[in-house]
Structure 1
Amino acid sequence: MRQIFTSPRLENVEGVAALLREAGIEVRVTNGRSYQGGRRREFSYSDNDSPQPAVWVVKSDDQPRARELLREAGLIDTTRGSANSYALPSFRSEEPIAASDPAKRRALMVKIALLGGIASIMVMAVMRLLTSETTPQLASPPFDGKVAATLQPVAQAVFASEIGSARFPVLCLAVDGRPAPARVIDALSKAGGPALLPSSHCERIADSERGSRHPGTGQEAIFLEVSGFRPSAADAGVIEFSAYHHQMYGSYKTLEVKRIGNQWKVTRVIRHVAMQG
């Protein structure tokens, strides 16, 4: 354990300790608040010889990173002598911050608080990014026959097996009653073929004389939707598929899906009802 920072002002020491803890560095504060009443140690010009509050880094491996953080924050100057000597980083202003100058004290605390806030925001942003980039590949229990949210790779596998038989210039995709995610459409579009769009881009028309359309181009369109996913295991289940052009033209299937190797696939058609009037 090595001392990394010291100051006659306890607020400064506690602020530095909070900054280092935010960065995941284990520290200890000495000569700080009383353990009995939480009283802080008041600074006085008459007690220069008394021990000052200090921050200590517990793990030696964290010392270089701790010094770097304090240097970046403008809180310490680091000086080194010979290769075998070590000089303790010291507070950049060796003169204590006087109690009669609260502006300096407030500025320092605001600076430390801002640094801690920025570090917290960056951590949350990284966690959010990692979460958004993670796509569940396996179903979650309980496997009791109830409908669950359709996994993205399951929806993609069903669409891939059905779009070849949908002979329309525009295919409008939906998953669980909502427009298909962009990732699914992008992955399927790489294989070429008809235009693939989220269902929200198309107009659902029941009139058999007209049929569903893509408003932007006026081309005929068919709505393809997967829903009603019922997992029977982490890597297996059944799902419903529907294709709808108008009230007299549609197809409805119940499909068995399984994860084989690293990919979900349609393994069996359990039920199929079609109307093509």
Structure 2
Amino acid sequence: MRKVFSSQRLENVEAVAQLLREAGIEVKIEHGRSYRGHRRGNFSYDSRKAPKDIPAVWIVRAEDQPRGRQILRELGLLESSRDELPSYLPTASRGDESGKARPAFGKRLKLGLLALIAVVIGLAVLQTRKSPEAAAPAAPTIATRPAPPPVEAITDVQVFRIDVPAALAARLAGQVLQQRKPALACLTVDGHDPKPGVLEAMTVPPRTRVLAASACAGKDGLAIAVHDYMTDGSGSGEVSLDVAGQQAQMLAVERTGTRWNILGKAQGAR
């Protein structure tokens, strides 16, 4: 394993670990949350008070290390390999650097306190010189009505051609059989033999046989063809019905539950 990221904030470490996990890299969080899931109470950005157990992300598999480091480098979370410092510096070196930083930090703290004192004194002087006259009342704000929500553009409904539903094919063919009552009927759905469920769902008059068109070769039967079901997915649409001896029809249909209703000729149909 190798450490690729560390931070005083445990949330940053967990975010980097999640990023690497999403990339398919197995990682381990060192010095993570306690069993209760709370943030560590000794959290501090002060390098002098930094805990020894800083949360860190380790890549488990060696083959994933180059890819993980590349991901962090592209996101600016890892310096270039030339400028990068090893994660295993001796403890003595770290201590020396911390000791050197303490005088500079103390000096900055003193300067900050002096600047704060100067600001407080300046504010006190301005307060004593302020005119006793009351400030003019602010102009009343005019209530503005919120802008109306944008109106969505109305687009044309898209209509698609799909396979004729089995229940719809059975409904149309059954209606033709009730009207014509042939001795033999030959049915096609979308130019092919109907599925077995279509023939089983049909209402067939007595003394009438219904066969798939391929089984009617050489037989004198009433040809019925149901095809080209056009719909926008709303449960209604138009379907073509061809019956031997009749003009082709384009019918408007609508589904209510599991039942199909035939509404009549479709608009624009001849």
Q: Give yes or no for TM over 0.5.
A: no
**How high is the TM-score relative to the length of structure 2?**
0.36
Q: TM-score, normalised by structure 1?
A: 0.35
Q: Which has the larger radius of gyration?
A: 2
The structure that is strand-richer by fraction is 1
